[in-house]
Structure 1
């Protein structure tokens, strides 16, 4: 894992790590008189009204960033069609991002959630801390089964006051979290990473089988031998994906989808390169 992440950092993140993020790593420094060409969105209206002239806020780049990983540990992450589960793909992404932060001398922390907050590791620097994070991630045995992303986002928003980068690792098979996602994006640079299994896109041509929801235990019959059933299944998850993309786009939250049959490192490199070109 360290060898793969080192290649990832060397090929991209070590040089462009900060350039791909919008907002974090910047803190307020002072105000000065507004001059033509300044961003009007940065005008400090309180100071301007007192001084009788337009003043703008000036920010400076911090020496270090804080990367905070919001990690879905619900039971739906354990299942999939291929050799690699969503949980394993999620662990690879988690490890790569943690090592990337260490290579750039940044702090990294994480919250693990199901239908409750399962674990919290505050942001720290150093390779030892990153290895502890990864060990916790790989060996984690959650007590809950469901997924309450809204609670996790709300917890991060209340606990992490200093602006940073929040990366959400989840299959996003949950509801009721968009309000909290909006609030978190106001104070942090949020990136939504959706872990996708081939079964999320197409139901296999099979006989009549019992399907159990891993988070609720509810059982239904799956008629994979019926073309209409497979079509409706595909249309449902296509709609779910479009809604997720639309809601994230409305909030200007970058999205990344990583399939379990894809190389997570290659997907991260592609994602950060596209961000750096914008």
Structure 2
């Protein structure tokens, strides 16, 4: 993609996603993703109804009158976006590829974060860590992230969720809110996800295409595995083959959802032909 095309696409995404962040997500994001805790603000005289557990006994003894500590929510957070850039993101049978939806959702979350005065960082991953953008604030930083989302070309095409989750756990020392945006076409990442969610607040956004759920009856078709590059002829006219594919999808759904439940990870599945705004709003309200 030429530089001018990239800049044009960046501007289009900025206009759309910044507007969504400002007009729709601002309040929901704030209430759904709270700060790291409460921080001391000041002391004031005790008033009837105040919690006696907040009494500052040192100040009370000094002035011979009860004073309490006042705390306020520590709003500033660090938000990490873990972006799947493996080969399977290039699939799409409607008007939008998975990678296009991933880009827009990531941009919406990034703009929501800076409006909330949060730092935002990104980790691009395949079966390795492809790129790490350290957390920062500001519109310039977010536009840099969007440019990378549009133009980044990974070195590998397969997926390893355990690798990026372990990297997150080791690289980001303070607790942060982490959005894993992926199709989650991987296995055996439960242990790494559980450990990551114990240290951070991990949220899974699973992107899929409707065609991945059912195999159409269109005769013999040569399929290519987007991640391994392997080819295979499939007789889609065979009901047995179509039923087996459908059962694989249902079993995979069950396995992934079970993993999220065991790890205590909030999640939402979003199809490429759906309005992701509704899905994100539902997730935010659930967490509020």
Report the Cα distance in structure 2 between the residues aligned to 1:95 and 1:128, rounded to whole angstroms: 13
1:262 corresponding residue in structure 2:
274
Structure 1, residues 36-69: CA drift from partner, whole Å, max 9, x if none? xx9xxxxxxxxxxxxxxxxxxxx96323011100
User: Is 1:170 matched with 2:174?
Assistant: no
Residues 195-245 of structure 1: per-residue CA shift (max 9 Å, x gap): 010122111111111212111122222211112211110110111011101
CA distance in 1 between counterparts of 2:234 and 2:96 reads 23
Residue in 2 that maps onto 1:41: none
Q: Which residue of 2 aligns with 1:112?
A: 124
- Asked whether the 8 Å contact 2:214–2:242 carries over to 1, the reply is yes
Q: Answer yes or no: is the 8 Å Cα contact 2:162–2:188 preserved in 1.
A: yes
**How far off its partner does 1:28 sit?**
7.8
Q: 1:4 aligns with which of 11, 16, 31?
A: 16
Farther-moved stretch of structure 1 (82-91 vs 121-130): 82-91
* 8 A Cα contact 1:76 1:215, kept in partner: yes
The farther-off stretch of 150-159 and 1-10 is 1-10
Which has the greater radius of gyration? 2
2: distance between equivalents of 1:250 and 1:133? 32
2:196 paired with 1:223: no
For 1:106 and 1:21, the matched residues in 2 are separated by 11
1:214 is matched with 226
TM-score w.r.t. the length of structure 1 is 0.83
Please give the secondary structure, in 2, of the residue aligned with 1:17.
helix
**Correspondence list, 1:195-210, <5 A:** 195-210=207-222
- SS of equivalent to 1:118: strand
Distance 1:247 1:109, change over 3 A: same
Q: Which runs of 5+ in 1 are unaligned?
A: 30-37, 39-58
Given candidates 78, 84, 94, the residue that maps to 2:96 is: 84
Q: Give unpaired runs (5+ residues) of structure 2.
A: 1-12, 41-50, 52-70
2:201 alignment partner in structure 1: 189
1:67-113 CA deviation, whole Å, 9 max, x = no partner?
Answer: 10011100011012222111111111111111111111110000001
- State the partner residue of 1:56: none
Q: Match of 2:55?
A: none
Q: Is it true that 1:271 corresponds to 2:283 in the alignment?
A: yes
Match of 1:152 among 150, 164, 174: 164
TM-score, normalised via structure 2 length: 0.81
Give the Cα separation in 1 of the matches to 2:23 and 2:247.
Answer: 38
CA distance in 2, matches of 1:10, 1:156: 28
User: How big is the alpha-carbon RMSD for the aligned residues of Structure 1 and Structure 2?
Assistant: 2.0
Contact 1:8 1:269 in 2 (8 A): no
SS of corresponding position for 2:154: coil
